[in-house]
Amino acid sequence: MTQAGGAIATTVGVLIALYIALIREPREAFEAHKYHVARMDALQRIKSERFGAQARKLVPSCVRTPMLGDNAWAVRIDNAASNATTILKVGVTAVDDSGTEMPGSARRVDHATSVDPDVQQSIRLALSESLGTGRNTTMSRAIRHAIRDAVAVHFVDDWPRTLPPSHHAVMCYATESSNHKLRVTIDYEDEAGFQWRRTDTGQPTRTDNWEIGQR
């Protein structure tokens, strides 16, 4: 009877050991693995949201500038993020009323071309309305150049490579037709090295292959 009891106890012990080895421990390990994966996914989402929020703070915009001509636009990039942003590329394209791109219909205007006839004519018309045509030509010419220089100083001839926090850059563009609008696309890199693309005020999208947690 004692031998039988010992055999039974041994069998029960073996079964318990098998249960622990084959069922309970793998299940616990699986649950622990699931918990770890869920936690890593949550951290990944938090990081993605944080970097995405920073990426959304680099904002391109454009507005017509009739003072510089009927077809003139001021294209501006604002960096409201807390860190500097590296600008990789800026694309400015003219589009018609339907949103169709018009290749070659937008040109950049630098300081040298800010004295072109369209600009001069716009300023001249504005002055003639306020000072009267033909009155004090010397003063009108001086004021016209002062206005041109005051406007031009706010524009850049080339987009900066790096845009510090709370800074902006503005460049002047002209379209071939006053019916055209501008579409602005920027490629940029945040402080963590992730690369993004944004068109106008749309949501920025990642353009690199790095996972957030890998950097």
Check whether residue 51 and residue 113 sit in a common domain. Answer: no
- Answer yes or no: is pLDDT of 89 > 70: yes
pLDDT confidence of residue 36: 57
Using DSSP's 3-state secondary structure scheme, residue 134 falls into coil
Residue 50 is assigned to a structural domain of this protein: yes
Check whether residue 124 and residue 180 sit in a common domain. Answer: yes
DSSP assigned state of 81: S
Least confident piece of the model among 42-56, 81-95, 182-196: 42-56
Check whether residue 186 and residue 203 sit in a common domain. Answer: yes
| CB contact set of 25 (below 8 Å; sequence gap of 6+) | none
pTM for the model: 0.62
Check whether residue 74 and residue 49 sit in a common domain. Answer: no
Q: How many domains does the chain have?
A: 2
pLDDT confidence of residue 56: 87
pLDDT confidence of residue 115: 47
Residue 214 is assigned to a structural domain of this protein: no
81 near 165, Cβ under 8 Å? yes
Averaged confidence pLDDT in the chain: 74
- Answer yes or no: is pLDDT of 11 > 70: no
Query: Would you tell me how many other CB atoms lie within 10 Å of the CB of residue 3?
Result: 7
Residue 81 is assigned to a structural domain of this protein: yes
Instruction: Tell me what the mean pLDDT of segment 49-59 comes to.
Output: 78
89 near 189, Cβ under 8 Å? no
- Answer yes or no: is pLDDT of 163 > 70: yes
Check whether residue 158 and residue 96 sit in a common domain. Answer: yes
Structure tokens that stand for 151 in this block: 């406007």
The CATH number of whichever domain residue 156 belongs to comes to 2.60.40
pLDDT confidence of residue 112: 52
186 near 180, Cβ under 8 Å? no
Instruction: Tell me what the mean pLDDT of segment 127-134 comes to.
Output: 52
- Encode pLDDT of 143-152 as tens digits: 555 555 556 5
Question: Alpha-carbon distance 44 to 42, whole Å?
Answer: 5
Check whether residue 71 and residue 172 sit in a common domain. Answer: yes
Residue 175 is assigned to a structural domain of this protein: yes
Check whether residue 63 and residue 50 sit in a common domain. Answer: no
Residue 215 is assigned to a structural domain of this protein: no
Residue 42 is assigned to a structural domain of this protein: yes
Check whether residue 4 and residue 63 sit in a common domain. Answer: no
Check whether residue 86 and residue 28 sit in a common domain. Answer: no
Range of the domain at 151: 58-208
- Answer yes or no: is pLDDT of 30 > 50: yes
Check whether residue 23 and residue 71 sit in a common domain. Answer: no
Instruction: Tell me what the mean pLDDT of segment 90-113 comes to.
Output: 86
Instruction: Tell me what the mean pLDDT of segment 105-115 comes to.
Output: 71
pLDDT confidence of residue 35: 60
43 or 59, higher pLDDT: 59
Instruction: Tell me what the mean pLDDT of segment 113-130 comes to.
Output: 54
Residue 213 is assigned to a structural domain of this protein: no
- Answer yes or no: is pLDDT of 72 > 80: yes
